[in-house]
Structure 1
Amino acid sequence: MKWINLCIIGLLYFCSACSNDVDFGEQYKKQVYIVNANLNAGIIDASLMMEEEAQGSISIYCASSEFPEEDVIVHYKIDTAALNAYNVREYENATELYMTAIPENLVTFGSETVTIKQGEAYAVLPFTINTAALDPSANNTLPITLTDASGYEINPELQTCFYRLELDNPYSGEYNATVNILGAFNDYYYPQFQNFVTKTLGAGGMTSLKVPQSTQVVIQETNPNYFIINWNQEDNSLTLTSPVEGFQMIESLNLAADFDQTPESVKVNYYNPDTQEFIVCYKFPNTAMIYEILKKK
């Protein structure tokens, strides 16, 4: 009886061992996907200078338990339809938040396919964008979808990315901002509140800057209240515009140090080359007037 029990135990152990055998060659699916396509619903944020040949790229990865034994040829396409569907699904009627597809004639790819070399895990898809021709006020985006890969499946959840651009120029970046929120007294103004913040200014054009409103430090996607500094570099004069209806550029300012001090006329809306500062004065609807000095860090 004891011998029979030992046989049964041995048989059960043998069966258990067989059931736990793993074919490690099939443990992971052989898939190709775009790196970081799973972040922020497929949106890859990038900053490029406004120039005729700005360089960008995405990385394409092949997943498997082993490196590929031969070259993997990956096909791709610009997928405007996927971008349009995403806009409608995510933003519905808030069209001001829609991403705008970069025109195909402004994009140049190095080749029609991407090759992941034998024994390597990934490859880079480089491209050139004529960012100088883009509208800086738009959410310029390059939608790319992988369509086919030799010997590998395409991961359907990671096959599309939206390469969204933040445009830069030589003057964009971080600025120290002195924001004076003005109070009115008689026929002049005085700094009722003064705030010191660091603002991130984006490109509004080759010589223009997008500036967050008042004490905001960045332009908010869901509440894009900003104005644009248009810089005439011949005489250093500035004009201010904004997509916000009712925005005003204040062209003259009588300013006093305090409400009971003697006011004086202050020059506004110009670039001071000696101090390298932008001096602006503006007003958004239903807010106080702002006198602001911006100096790049």
Structure 2
Amino acid sequence: MKRISLYTTMIGFAVLSSLSSCLKDESQPDFTKNQAVIELPIGSSAANGGGNSIAAAFTVDQTPSDYFVYVNYAAPEAAAQNVTVTLKVDTSAVTKFNTVNGTTYAQMPANGYTLAGNTVVIPTGQRLVKFPIKINTINLDPLKTYALPITISDGGGFTVSGNFGTLVSIITLKNKWDGVYTVTGTMLDTQNSALTGQYPRTLKLVTQGPNTVAIQDGDSFAHGILNAGAGSSYGSFSPVFTIDNTNSTITSAINYYGQPASNGRSARLDASGVNKFTMSADGKTPVSMKVKYILVQNGDRTFFDETWTYTGSR
């Protein structure tokens, strides 16, 4: 019995010793000893080595648009001193990103952005600050998708993150009439009475240039109609409207698929319509659009008379 008691006691000491060893953090990380890392934390990664990216869209305007990326002091405690971080536009990051992801984003030209400087200070007691950038949309092509790569070139004495040291901003442009609309109105096909209008309907106007937009239905450049009461659309037909920037008057309509398209369909503005956008008081956001246009195929075939009410951005 004494041997059993002694054996049991020895096992108990062993277990306690093992628990004590765990409590001394033999297997758990001690976060209090982590070294500070400087990073650009916002963005998503495809985990393929191409780098982190974030998407941003801007409306074309004479006035440059405000944009920023976050710079973070990653550590258990906030910065105990001012940390000056140096950043740069790193064109090599775009080449790498495109190569790895199979994309063809254009490097944003030098006149497409303005940096207030190349440094940002993380103040004592803080972690996260903004690095401000101006996007000069008027100098950019709305038909292109741009990449603006920002890289930390100096962490102010601290380690620069290997995974979050570069952020590629993928930038697209929209003109001020671009957006999602609820469309009501009438449609008359003079050649096929089975084809009728499908209203109300949610449609989009999608930027094609600084002052042009095309009708998009779902993910297709088209306009939903009814064929004997069933959902349909005219093949290879989507009006592209040109708008006067000074007063938001629609000056013309052509077919997105060609004028005419391969099936002989063209678009033409009906001069009897109001053909104009009503804009917000500051002139930057559409309220509604009234427009008449015609599908031309072997003459003036289909007449549209519509009101588009803006519901939000795409």
* TM-score with structure 1 setting the length: 0.70
Correspondence for 2:30: 23
- Is the CA contact (8 Å cut-off) linking 1:175 and 1:296 kept in structure 2? yes
Name whichever of 231-240 and 117-126 sits farther off.
231-240
State how far apart, in whole Å, the 2-side matches of 1:289 and 1:145 are.
54
CA gap 1:81/1:190 in 2 versus in 1, 3 angstroms: farther
- Is the CA contact (8 Å cut-off) linking 1:178 and 1:194 kept in structure 2? no
- Is the CA contact (8 Å cut-off) linking 1:175 and 1:200 kept in structure 2? yes
- Is the CA contact (8 Å cut-off) linking 1:178 and 1:294 kept in structure 2? yes
Structure 1: runs of 5+ lacking an equivalent: 93-97, 220-224, 253-265
Correspondence for 1:199: 203
- Is the CA contact (8 Å cut-off) linking 2:254 and 2:267 kept in structure 1? no
Residue identity over aligned pairs, in percent, reads 17
State how far apart, in whole Å, the 1-side matches of 2:65 and 2:169 are.
13
Structure 2: runs of 5+ lacking an equivalent: 47-51, 222-236, 279-287
CA gap 1:229/1:161 in 2 versus in 1, 3 angstroms: farther
- Helix, strand or coil at the partner of 1:150: coil
Residue 231 (str. 1) matches residue 243 (str. 2): yes
Paired residue type of 1:17? L
CA gap 1:88/1:268 in 2 versus in 1, 3 angstroms: farther
The alpha-carbon deviation at position 43 of structure 1 amounts to 2.7
- Is the CA contact (8 Å cut-off) linking 2:68 and 2:132 kept in structure 1? yes
CA gap 1:241/1:55 in 2 versus in 1, 3 angstroms: farther
Structure-to-structure mapping, 1:121-136, within 5 angstroms: 121-136=127-142
- Is the CA contact (8 Å cut-off) linking 1:37 and 1:160 kept in structure 2? no
Paired residue type of 2:218? Q
Alignment length, in residue pairs?
266
The alpha-carbon deviation at position 121 of structure 1 amounts to 1.4
- Helix, strand or coil at the partner of 2:268: coil
Match of 2:75 among 64, 81, 84: 64
Correspondence for 1:50: 61
CA gap 1:135/1:150 in 2 versus in 1, 3 angstroms: same
Name whichever of 110-119 and 156-165 sits farther off.
156-165
Correspondence for 1:107: 113
CA gap 1:63/1:205 in 2 versus in 1, 3 angstroms: same
- Helix, strand or coil at the partner of 1:125: strand
- Is the CA contact (8 Å cut-off) linking 1:199 and 1:217 kept in structure 2? no
Correspondence for 2:268: 251
- Is the CA contact (8 Å cut-off) linking 1:237 and 1:269 kept in structure 2? no
Match of 2:151 among 125, 145, 148: 145
- Helix, strand or coil at the partner of 1:25: helix
Deviations along 1:117-147, one digit per CA (max 9) or x if unpaired, are 1211111011112111211111133222222
* TM-score with structure 2 setting the length: 0.67
Residue 91 (str. 1) matches residue 102 (str. 2): yes
The alpha-carbon deviation at position 197 of structure 1 amounts to 2.5
- Helix, strand or coil at the partner of 2:243: strand
Correspondence for 1:260: none
Correspondence for 2:293: 280
State how far apart, in whole Å, the 2-side matches of 1:295 and 1:14 are.
72
Structure-to-structure mapping, 1:207-218, within 5 angstroms: 208-213=211-216, 215-216=217-218
CA gap 1:166/1:178 in 2 versus in 1, 3 angstroms: farther
Deviations along 1:138-174, one digit per CA (max 9) or x if unpaired, are 1133222222312332222222223233434443332
The alpha-carbon deviation at position 182 of structure 1 amounts to 7.3
Name whichever of 8-17 and 118-127 sits farther off.
8-17
The alpha-carbon deviation at position 100 of structure 1 amounts to 1.9
